[in-house]
Amino acid sequence: MPELPEVETVARLIRPALEGRRIQAVDVRWLRSLGGLSRARFAKCVVGQKLTRIWRRAKYIVFDLEDDLGRSAGCLVGHLRMTGRMHVEKQDVEPNPYTRISLDLDDGNRFHFIDVRKFGRLTWAAEPGQVFASLGPEPLGDEFRAEWFSAALRERKRMLKPLLLDQSFLAGLGNIYVDESLFRAGLHPLRRSDRVPRARAFELHAAIQSILRQAIEREGSSFDTFYRTPEGQPGSYQAQFQVYGRTGKPCRTCGRSIRKITVGQRGTHLCTRCQPAPRAKSTT
């Protein structure tokens, strides 16, 4: 599922084809992908506007818009959720059957928002700040410091896994990179955040940053046909997975079989030797 590295990869991929282009028409094939806006309102806000900048915040992709007088005209805000994809191709290419929203561009190309499971969104907002107000820091941004992280973990008294998935705590991680980060730091997903020693919090902080950086370098992870872009090659970070999707396979560090448990309705992968259980009880 697209998380920060995959979303960053998509933004980088589509940016050159979009920046500077003007939107000439829109085609909304699945209304709910607009996240509550009507087709008419969406079209009114978007058609005729110029795409000036494509950027990422957390797992959102933002398309800044400008009207023909050069004034700000709000922005498109996209979220890929589980199966969303974005790409640009020639207007005469037959669109993918799962295309939910298309934008005709002034250079003969067409932008497509494709989403098999329809969880994703592409909507218009006057102010992106409104959408982002409740998001926590960017894990690769300056405000995400080890000292802050250690203190924030102590303040919250939650299990590590749901806390790291909480976008208002830290914005951009999803199921895969949380599992991988916790493994790298040797922390059990059920461990309470306020019981993580300071040195361990620093290790987790470093693990999150280094894993995200490596994943971006490898253009994210793709292990399923849903997550591949038609024109771009799939990412390759999945080859680096230590625990995610490796249930029953030997831990690459100690050899013990990787286990899968459920935490907050989410599949959670771990090595019970490298990530000891929070209580004395050993779950083998």
Partner DNA sequence: AGCTACTCCTGGTAGC
Partner DNA sequence: TGCTACCAGGAGTAGC
- State the catalytic residues: 2-3, 59, 266
Using CB under 7 A as the criterion, what x/- string covers residues 222-261 for binding DNA? ---x------------------------------------
CA angle 12, 139, 125 (to 5 degrees): 60
- The Cα-based distances of 106 to 25, 33, 50, 52, 103 in angstroms read 9, 23, 9, 14, 10
Nearest residue (CB) to DNA, 74 versus 78: 78
Residue listed under structure tokens 């820091």: 137
Q: Looking at 45-53, 69-77, 210-218, 264-272, which segment touches DNA (CB under 7 A)? A: 264-272
On whether the CB atoms of residues 62 and 56 are closer than 8 A, the answer is yes
Strands 259-263 and 266-270, bridge-based pairing: antiparallel
On whether the CB atoms of residues 81 and 121 are closer than 8 A, the answer is yes
Residue 156 touches DNA, criterion: CB under 7 A: yes
Residue 199: how many other CB atoms lie within 10 Å: 9
Nearest residue (CB) to DNA, 72 versus 249: 249
Using CB under 7 A as the criterion, what x/- string covers residues 79-118 for binding DNA? x-xxx--------------------------------xxx
Nearest residue (CB) to DNA, 10 versus 105: 10
Nearest residue (CB) to DNA, 58 versus 216: 58
Instruction: Supply the minimum distance, in Å, between the C-beta of residue 224 and DNA.
Output: 8
